[in-house]
Amino acid sequence: MFRRIAQKYNPATASHCTCSVLALTLFVGAIPQTTWAQDDVPFDATADTVFNIIQDSDPSTFVCLSYEGRTTRQMWDKRQDDEFDLEVFLFTAHFSDMPPIDIILNPEFETPEAARAEADKYTHRLGRVPLVFRHGIRQLGVHKGDKGFHAGTGKVFVYSDMSDRRISENHLEESLLHEGVHATLDDQYRLSPEWIAAQEQDGRFLTRYAASRPEREDLAETALFAYSLLRHPGRIPPADSAAIARIAPARIAVVESILNTTVEVPPPTPPPGGCE
């Protein structure tokens, strides 16, 4: 969980706007600068955030889901720390702003109906994640269990019990954004000179998880907070927003440039008949 949580804050009454790094800098200047000790890391991990940054009312670009049958795919399973060839349930998720992605489900879901019910948890929510953070996802794999999510280039793996917990906390979209950054942006940005320079300029991390794995996790950990401050600043309480902006201004500026980049992806594929 976050180490500090602002109390009695209602994000529904807060303003929502598109901000810039300059606006955030001015905002920080209006907040007392004693919110955090300079040697402190404010949060543990974005995976445990209590901030509802991507909300049910946000539009989704998800169109429909079609069942393609059973096929053999490789799935990395964190429960066994190994990869296996499995006869998965295969679905194709169609979106209005990007090519379709495969959703594959471990055969432990047993029936197409159970597999579809599980796949339905992710489709609309994934469509709420900004395109810039998800356009590189080609496959979403789903296992049972409560392990933490993980991702690599083009692929994201999730676990159904953990997903249920994050849905109950209004946080599945935020977790999908984090993994989408790994699948979509890591190869280009996480070790880029501009990101390394921004890390060095800021000199601190927003989460203990990022601090423990700066080369692997800092971009994905920072992106969620930066996106909120730049696109939905009212969804994080002012004191916490000020702390984030003060700790990571250079990296927020890099994320701002990413958000302002025109994403070039192939056009979406028309869904087949019977796609629901």
CATH number of the domain that residue 101 is part of: 3.30.2010
100 and 133 assigned to the same domain? yes
DSSP 73: E
Residues 85 and 152 in one domain: yes
Q: What is the mean pLDDT of residues 214-237?
A: 96
Mean pLDDT of 94-116: 98
pLDDT at position 48: 80
Name the domain boundary from 169, 198, 214.
169
68 and 165 in a single domain? The answer is yes
Question: How much is the pLDDT for 91?
Answer: 98
Same domain, 129 and 71: yes
Q: Is residue 48 part of a domain?
A: yes
Checking DSSP bridges between strand 82-95 and strand 62-77, what pairing results, if any? antiparallel
pLDDT at 181 over 80: yes
Distances (CA, A) of 21 to 27, 106, 129, 255: 10, 43, 21, 10
At 41, the pLDDT band (50, 70, 90 cuts) reads: confident
Token pair belonging to 83: 């990869």
Q: What is the CA radius of gyration of the chain?
A: 19
Contact 245, 28 (CB under 8 A): yes
Same domain, 99 and 153: yes
pLDDT at 29: 43
CA 176 to chain centre: 4
Q: Is residue 273 part of a domain?
A: no
Above 50 in pLDDT, residue 112? yes
Shared domain for 245 and 220, answered yes or no, is yes
pLDDT at 27 over 50: no
> Are 143 and 94 found together in one domain?
yes
pLDDT at 49: 79
Predicted local distance difference test score (pLDDT) of residue 9: 36
Nearest to 231 by CA among 267, 209, 213, 258: 258
- Return d(Cα 189, Cα 216) in angstroms, integer: 11
- Under a CB-based contact definition with an 8 Å cutoff, are residues 239 and 28 in contact? no
Instruction: Verify that 74 and 130 share a domain, yes or no.
Output: yes
| Domains of the chain: total | 2
Give me the mean pLDDT over the 24-46 stretch.
Answer: 55
Q: Are residues 44 and 68 in the same domain?
A: no
Q: Which domain holds residue 206?
A: 11-55+185-259
DSSP-assigned beta bridge partners for residue 71: 88
Q: Are 215 and 185 in contact (CB under 8 A)?
A: no
Instruction: Judge whether 189 and 199 are in contact, CB under 8 Å.
Output: no
> Tokens for 2?
């976050």
